[in-house]
Structures are given as C-alpha cells and as structure tokens.
C-alpha cells in the first residue's frame, strides 16, 4: 500500500495558474501546489496593510519578532516549512483571502501541507481554504493548520474539500482564541474517498466565541470522519457545534464531538449538535458526543439525530404536485443550507449553494478542475431552487 | 360524467377496518360537507383520495373523471386537479413558500406539457392570491409553515389552493382551531374560489363553518359508512341532536 511517493516541490515553471473562476467573488488568492506554497506577485492592498504572506521558513528568518511576541504560538521545529500568513493588529480585510491547494499528480502521491496563520489584535479576517484534486489520480494529503487569534480579533473560516474518490485528506486544525475573539468555521466536505478532519479549538481568553459548522455529503464507499474538540479554558466563553451530513449508498461517517470545560471556566455555554440523513439502509453513521465538564456553573447541551427524510413533508410536497425526486432534493437542500445561515459572504454562500445543488444532483462526483468553477446557475436541474 | 365517484370503498390500517363501504358521487361545481364524530373515517377518506399510502384499500374503487384514481401517484393526482387542505399542515424548514409554490406549479405544468411559468407571472399570481386570504406578505419568504400560528397555517392552505386552482378541493377540518375572524377569512377565500368548474369537499365537525360556506349536500360519515345524506339543514339537525340517533 505504501507505494506513495512523497511530494517534492514542483518546479517553478511547472506551476500553472489554476485560475479559480469564482466569478461573483473577489478574493486575494494564495497558491499551494501539492501542498507547497508558491509565492506570487504581492498584492498592493495587502502590502499597504503590512499583511505578510510568505513561507514559514522565511518568516522565521525575517520576522523573528512576530514569533517572539505572539503568545499561544506552538513552537516550530527548525525544519518546518509551509505557508505563513500574518495580519497585523487593527487590520480589517473586507475581501477574503483564499488559499487554493491544488493537488495534481500522475503517480500515487503523499502530500504534506502546513499553514500558520496569526490574526493580530483587533483584526478581522475572512479566509477560504480549498483543497482540490484536478485529476483522478491517487493522492494522500496531510494538512496541518495552526491559527492564533489575538485578543478582540475575528476570523470567518471556510474549508472546502473536494477531492477525487481515490484520494484521502487528513486535516489537523488548531485554533487558539484569546480574550473576546470570535471564530466562525464552515467545514464543507463535498467529495472525497476518505476525509478526516480533526478540529481543535481552545478558548483561552474570556468572552471568546466559537461557532463551528460542518456539512458532509458522501456517497458510494466514501468515508468521512469529523473530530471536533472545544476546550473552554476561561470563563464566559461560548461555543456552538452544528455538523450535518447526508449519506448515500454505502458511505460511512463518523462524528466525535468533544466539549471540555475546565474548572476555571464558569459561565460557559456550549452546544453541540450532529444531525444526519441516511438515504439507504447501507449507509452508516457513528456519532459520539463526549462532554467533560469540571465546573458546575455551565450551560451545556448536545444532541444527535440519525434519520431519513421527513415522510410527512414528502407527502405534503407531493400532494401539491411536486415529484418524489424533486421533493427529496428540496428537503435535502434545505437540510444542508442551514449550515450556511450564519455565513456573511453572500456571494460565496450563493456559490456554495450551487455546489451543494450540483452535489445533490450527482454532478460533482469528481471534479475536473477547481470546485469553484461551478458557480454557474444550476440550469440543468429539474428543480428551480430560489 | 361525475367528477368523483367513490364506490363501496373499504380501507384499513394495520388490519383495523376504518372505511366499511363508502359510496359518494361528486359532480362539477358542487360543495359537499362530510360530518361525523372523530375516528369514524373522515380524514382517512380524504387521505386516500389524495394518495397517502398508510392505508390499505381492501375493496371498492374511486373514479376521478372516469379514471381509476389508484393508478395515479400522489403528485399525478395533484396535477390532475386534486388538492388536499391538511388538517395539520406540515412545517418544512428551509423551503420558502415562494420556492415551494413555484416548484409545485412548474411541476404540474410539466406534467401537462406546459413550459414553466415565467417568473413575473408567478410573482403577480402570488401577490393576487395572497390577498384572498389576507396572508402577510412577509410570510411568503419564510419557510413553509415554520413558526406559523394555527390560523396562519390554515390561511396558507387556502393560499396554496388559490395558487394551484384545483378542480377538486378536499378541506380536512380547515376550520378546526380557528377563531371566528380567521374562520371568516378562510371561508371567504374558499367562496372566492368557488365556480361551476370547482368542486369542494368540506370535512368538518361543526356546522358553524357551513354558515359561511353553504354546501349543496351534507353527508354523515359514521362508523366507516355514509349513513345519511341531506341538504344543508341536516347539519343543523346534527348540531341539535348529535350523532347517536343515526345509529
């Protein structure tokens, strides 16, 4: 099995500018190719704002002071490299940053990607991170992301996973929030042979808030595993987990949601929800809430459901003349889009809704190019979604 | 030809017989009220006509415009002009009323070989029909029945009926849970849609609905059978005497 070759840095001339046709949405694009960061012409707006986007190695050489002054930063070993993003204090970036990790290979390839993001005090960032395979060859990606939010900062983070059915991706993401920080994540596992997401959020300052949303759509023999862990380490923090999944054919999903409330964290509010729809008898979901609470003055709730589409709603819709297939589509689409209700980038939500529709229609089984190509309206479908 | 002919209909659920030989004929333009105590088969009859498959039809037949109704799927029946106003309208979170209605209208049109309704025409139709039942404009952009009051849900049923203009409407206890103002609004909605081409079955417990929607016939469904049919006055008699005397 282990005939995977470790990815080496593609040559500069091999780099293709995989243009991402996210037509309605302007982003500042950052390129990774098989996990390697490719430096492109710097954008003037980003330069003006003193935003640093470079390799981790060059950051360690040229911006030592950042590493010394940022608390909550995990130590890096000297041989580590990857992508480094630094948003200085008091910076608001209206246009989202987008990291586009393009995976392209002609032989079984093992890819490692590392990203370190620091959002400075009172700064506000929106970031879209996409992993896309652009051909149908086997790959195995391990992606590590560390994000540090300094006090009073916020981050809206979108993670899109759309890889081919042979490929696997394992992301290990760590977010550390200081006082009064706000994190919103939208984790969309659109397609992939084997997807594993480990998400850890540490609420290390008072009044920090984390809103973690996830959607997985799997079919055939695909496997998706989400392990979400939130640590309430300080008083007055809020967290909310909402993960939803639709499973077709013999797909398997696992959800493990961990809420940890430290003895030092009174007035915690933590909610966790995992809801699943199984479209067949063969699809399997394992869902496992795990609450570890060491303080009495907390509000915690968790819930998990595994079910089929609501038969009462199906009959109601059909009794109005809507075909069984369309009724299913509408219900599944409605189920999925709840995840996006708190997303603030409207144009992106429109595009993501298109992607969800196409996925539900079975048109997205394997992407030939960047998933965000599919921002065209869903003209071929029977159901005209509004 | 009659619009709907029910002949010796027997139906059961989990082996328990609910309908024990119902006969009923409905012609174009007629309004029929079906009354009777709870648990005697009124809603079962409505559900079977609309196509709910939780009941086993063990005997008998239903002809709709001369066609065997049991050969049509739920959605085909709707497209052929059958509408069921639900006793308990279903909440569908995440699906807006506008989208729901647009999909329903266009799928019915597709069944009839018609092109989708142009968006402008659809919007105009929505505006017009909302007024019939005094439905709050904001409701249309909300999810179907989600968080609606009892009265709003029933208004929404009549609104949908107005949008789809069926030829046979079955209103299953549309009056239950309504205060007198809401009842008036719903009833005037039904009356506004009355025409020689439209037939209506009103299922109700109370004769008060029939003060507002005057039926051509009143039937009593008792212990799985229609035991009496009469003019509008029968409802008053039932109100006075109850059902036991029909035994």
Q: Which of B171, B238, B221, B201 is nearest to B40 (CA)?
A: B221
Structure confidence at residue B128 as a pLDDT band (50, 70, 90): very high
Look at residues A134, A127, A203 and name the one whose alpha carbon lies nearest to residue A163.
A134
For residues B59-86, average pLDDT: 96
Total domains in chain A come to 1
Tens of pLDDT, residues A128-147 = 999 888 888 899 999 999 99
CB atoms within 10 A of CB A76: 18
Chain A hits for B77, Cβ within 8 Å: 319
Name which of B86, B96, B160 is nearest A386 (Cβ-Cβ): B96
Contact between A319 and B74 using a beta-carbon 8 Å cutoff: yes
Structure tokens at B202: 């009103």
pLDDT band at A4; cut points 50, 70, 90:
confident
At how many degrees (to 10) do helices B119-132 and B180-192 cross?
Answer: 130
Which among B50, B93, B99 has the least Cβ separation from residue A319?
B50
Sorting pLDDT into bands at 50, 70 and 90, what band is B25? very high
Question: Are B94 and A333 within 8 A, CB to CB?
Answer: yes
**Which residue of chain A has the CA closest to B91?**
A313
Confidence tier at A21 by pLDDT (50, 70, 90): very low
Residue A362 distance to chain B (closest CA, Å): 20
Q: Which of A19-28, A231-240, B10-19, B174-183 has the lowest mean pLDDT?
A: A19-28
CB atoms closer than 10 angstroms to residue A207: 19
A381 in any annotated domain: no
Residue A103 belongs to what domain range?
A: 5-312
Mean pLDDT of chain B: 93
Average pLDDT over residues A42-55: 87
Please classify residue A353 by burial: count the beta carbons closer than 10 Å to its beta carbon, then call 0-12 exposed, 13-18 middle and 19+ buried. middle
Nearest-by-CA chain B residue for A324: B75
**Top-level CATH class of B4-246?**
alpha beta
CB contact under 8 A, B92 and A384: no
What six digits make up the tokens of A288?
Answer: 């496992």
Q: What is the mean pLDDT of chain A?
A: 88
Provide the terminal-to-terminal Cα distance of chain A, rounded to the nearest Å. 46
Matching residue, tokens 């039942």 = B133
Ranges assigned E (strand) in B27-73: 31-35, 56-64, 67-68
Q: Which of B74, B89, B164 sits opposite A318 (nearest CB)?
A: B74
Q: Is the pLDDT of residue A332 over 90?
A: yes
Q: Hey, what are A221's tokens?
A: 């023999």
Is A93 a member of any domain? yes
Mean pLDDT along residues B103-114:
96
The model's confidence at residue A371, banded by pLDDT at 50, 70 and 90, is: very low
**pLDDT (0 to 100) of residue B207:** 85
Q: Which residue, among B56, B42, B69, B22, has the nearest Cα to B168 in the 3D structure?
A: B69
Tell me what pLDDT residue B141 has.
80
Residue of A nearest to B49 (CA): A319
Least CB–CB distance from A337: residue in B94, B103, B106: B94
pLDDT score recorded for residue B222: 93
Chain B CB within 8 Å of residue A353 CB: no
Nearest one of B170, B155, B165 to B34, comparing CA atoms: B170
Asked whether residue A70 carries a pLDDT value surpassing 50, the answer given is: yes
Nearest CA in chain A to B146: A313
| Amino acid A366: pLDDT | 38
| Residue A31 pLDDT | 87
Q: Is A249 on the interface with B (CB under 8 A)?
A: no
Cβ–Cβ gap B75/A331 under 8 Å = no
Residues in B touching A326 (Cβ below 8 Å): 103, 107
Taking the CA of residue B230 and the nearest CA in chain A, the distance in Å comes to 30
Q: How many CB atoms lie within 10 A of CB A174?
A: 17
CA B190 to chain centre: 11
pLDDT of residue A165 exceeding 70, the answer is yes
State yes or no: pLDDT of B99 exceeds 50.
yes
CA A246 to chain B, closest CA, distance in angstroms equals 16
Name the pLDDT band for A164 (thresholds 50, 70, 90). Answer: confident
In this predicted structure, what is the pLDDT of residue A68? Answer: 86
Radius of gyration, alpha carbons of chain B: 18
pLDDT at A19: 55
The closest alpha carbon to A189, from A166, A211, A222, belongs to: A222
Task: Quote the CA–CA distance of A283 and B79 in Å, as a whole number.
Answer: 34
List helix spans (H) across A34-84: 44-48, 56-62, 64-69
In angstroms, what CA-CA distances link A124 with A48, A182, A213?
16, 9, 19
Smallest Cα distance from B98 to chain A, Å? 8
Q: Is the pLDDT score of A370 beyond 80?
A: no
A331 inside 8 A of chain B by CB = yes
Tell me what pLDDT residue A17 has.
Answer: 61
Task: Check pLDDT > 50 for residue A69.
Answer: yes
Q: For chain B, which residues make up each domain, given as ranges?
A: 4-246
Q: Does B195 touch chain A (CB under 8 A)?
A: no
**Which residues of chain B have a CB within 8 Å of the CB of A323?**
75, 107
- Do B102 and A384 lie within an 8 Å CB cutoff? yes
**Cα–Cα distance between B245 and B240 in angstroms, integer?**
11
Question: Does residue A10 register a pLDDT over 90?
Answer: no
Residue count (chain A): 386
User: Which of B93, B102, B107 comes nearest A323 by C-beta?
Assistant: B107
Task: Say whether the ipTM exceeds 0.85.
Answer: yes
Lowest mean pLDDT segment, chosen from A267-276, A365-374, B103-112: A365-374
Beta A52-55 vs A83-87: how paired, if at all?
Answer: antiparallel
Q: How far apart are CA A359 and CA B216, in angstroms?
A: 52
Tell me what percent of the residues of chain A surpass a pLDDT of 70. Answer: 90
Residue B111, pLDDT above cutoff 80: yes
B92 touches chain A (CB under 8 A): yes
* β partners of residue A301: A271
A313: nearest CA in chain B? Answer: B90
Tell which of B74, B87, B109 to mutate to test the A interface (max A CBs under 10 Å).
Answer: B74
Is the Cβ pair A330, B95 closer than 8 Å? yes
CA atoms within 13 A on the CB side of A376: 6
Q: Mean pLDDT over residues A320-327, rounded?
A: 94
Nearest 5°: the CA angle A324, A219, A358 is 60
Q: Hunting for tokens 């950042």 — which residue is that?
A: A66
3-state secondary structure of A369: coil
Whose tokens are 């999925």? That residue is A336
Give percent of chain B with pLDDT exceeding 90: 76
Rounded-to-integer distance, Cα A55 and Cα B1, Å: 81
Closest of A193, A255, A196 to residue A221, by C-alpha: A193
Q: How crowded is the C-beta side of B166, counted as CA atoms within 13 Å? A: 31
CB pairs under 8 A, 24+ apart, for B51-59? B51/A318, B51/A319, B51/B77, B52/A315, B54/B13, B55/B11, B55/B12, B55/B13, B55/B18, B56/B11, B56/B12, B56/B13, B57/B9, B57/B10, B57/B11, B58/B10, B58/B11, B58/B12, B58/B17, B59/B8, B59/B9, B59/B10, B59/B21
Given an 8 Å threshold on Cβ–Cβ distance, is A331 in contact with B92? yes
Residue range B133-148: average pLDDT?
86
Q: How confident is the model at residue A41, as a pLDDT?
A: 67
What does the pLDDT average to over A72-98? 88
Instruction: Tell me how far CA of residue A278 lies from CA of A41, A285, A286, in angstroms.
Output: 46, 8, 12
Alpha-carbon distances, residue B144 vs A244, A275, A317, B182 (angstroms): 21, 21, 10, 19
Contacts 24+ apart (CB under 8 A), B151-154: B151/B177, B151/B178, B151/B179, B151/B182, B153/B89, B154/B85, B154/B89, B154/B178, B154/B182, B154/B186
């Amino acid at each position: 099995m282990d005939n995977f070759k470790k990815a080496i840095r593609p040559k500069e001339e091999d780099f293709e500018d995989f243009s991402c046709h996210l037509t309605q949405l302007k982003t500042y694009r950052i390129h990774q190719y098989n996990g390697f960061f490719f430096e492109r012409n710097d954008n003037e707006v980003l330069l003006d704002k003193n935003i640093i986007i470079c390799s981790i190695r060059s950051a360690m050489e040229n911006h030592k002071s950042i590493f010394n002054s940022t608390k909550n930063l995990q130590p890096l070993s000297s041989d580590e490299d990857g992508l480094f993003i630094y948003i200085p204090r008091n910076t608001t970036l209206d246009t989202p940053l987008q990291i586009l990790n393009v995976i392209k290979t002609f032989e079984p390839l093992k890819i490692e990607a590392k990203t370190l993001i620091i959002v400075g005090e009172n700064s506000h960032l929106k970031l879209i991170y996409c992993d896309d395979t652009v051909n149908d060859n086997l790959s195995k990606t391990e992606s590590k992301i560390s994000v540090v939010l300094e006090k009073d900062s916020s981050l809206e983070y979108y993670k899109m996973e759309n890889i081919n059915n042979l490929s696997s991706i394992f992301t290990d993401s760590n977010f550390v929030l200081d006082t009064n920080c706000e994190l919103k994540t939208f984790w969309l596992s659109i397609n992939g042979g084997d997807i594993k997401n480990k998400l850890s959020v540490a609420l290390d300052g008072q009044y920090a808030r984390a809103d973690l949303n996830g959607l997985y759509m799997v079919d055939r023999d695909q496997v998706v595993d989400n392990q979400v862990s939130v640590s309430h380490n300080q008083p007055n923090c809020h967290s909310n987990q909402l993960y939803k999944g639709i499973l077709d054919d013999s797909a398997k999903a696992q959800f493990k949601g961990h809420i940890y409330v430290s003895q030092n964290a009174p007035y915690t509010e933590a909610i966790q929800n995992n809801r699943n729809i199984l479209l067949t008898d063969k699809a399997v979901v394992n869902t496992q809430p795990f609450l570890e609470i060491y303080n009495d003055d907390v509000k915690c709730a968790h819930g998990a459901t595994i079910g089929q589409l609501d038969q009462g709603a199906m009959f109601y819709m059909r009794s109005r003349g809507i075909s069984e297939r369309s009724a299913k589509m509408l219900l599944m689409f409605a189920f999925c889009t709840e995840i996006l209700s708190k997303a603030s980038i409207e144009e992106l939500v429109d595009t993501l809704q298109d992607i969800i529709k196409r996925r539900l229609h079975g048109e997205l089984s394997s992407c030939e190019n960047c998933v965000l190509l599919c921002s065209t309206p869903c003209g071929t479908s029977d159901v005209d979604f509004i | 030809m009659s619009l709907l002919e029910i002949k010796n209909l027997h139906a059961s659920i989990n082996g328990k017989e609910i309908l024990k030989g119902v006969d009923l004929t409905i012609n174009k333009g007629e309004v029929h009220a079906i009354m009777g105590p709870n648990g005697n088969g009124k809603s079962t009859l409505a559900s079977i006509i609309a196509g709910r498959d939780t009941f086993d039809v063990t005997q008998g037949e239903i002809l709709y415009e001369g066609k065997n109704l049991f050969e049509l799927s739920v959605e085909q029946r709707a497209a052929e002009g059958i509408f069921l106003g639900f006793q308990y309208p279903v909440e569908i979170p995440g699906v807006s009323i506008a989208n729901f209605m647009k999909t329903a209208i266009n799928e019915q049109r597709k069944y009839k070989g018609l092109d989708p309704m142009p968006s402008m025409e659809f919007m105009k139709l929505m505006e017009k029909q909302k007024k019939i039942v005094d439905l709050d404009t904001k409701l249309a952009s909300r999810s179907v029945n989600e968080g609606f009051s009892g009265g709003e849900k029933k208004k929404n049923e009549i609104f949908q009926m107005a949008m789809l203009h069926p030829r046979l409407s079955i209103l299953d206890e549309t009056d239950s849970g309504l205060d007198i103002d809401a009842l008036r609004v719903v009833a005037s909605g039904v009356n506004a849609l009355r025409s020689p081409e439209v037939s209506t079955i009103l299922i109700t417990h109370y004769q008060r609905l029939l003060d507002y929607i005057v039926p051509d016939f009143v039937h009593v469904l008792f212990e799985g059978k229609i035991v009496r049919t009469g003019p509008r006055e029968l409802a008053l008699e039932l109100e006075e005497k109850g059902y036991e005397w029909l035994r």
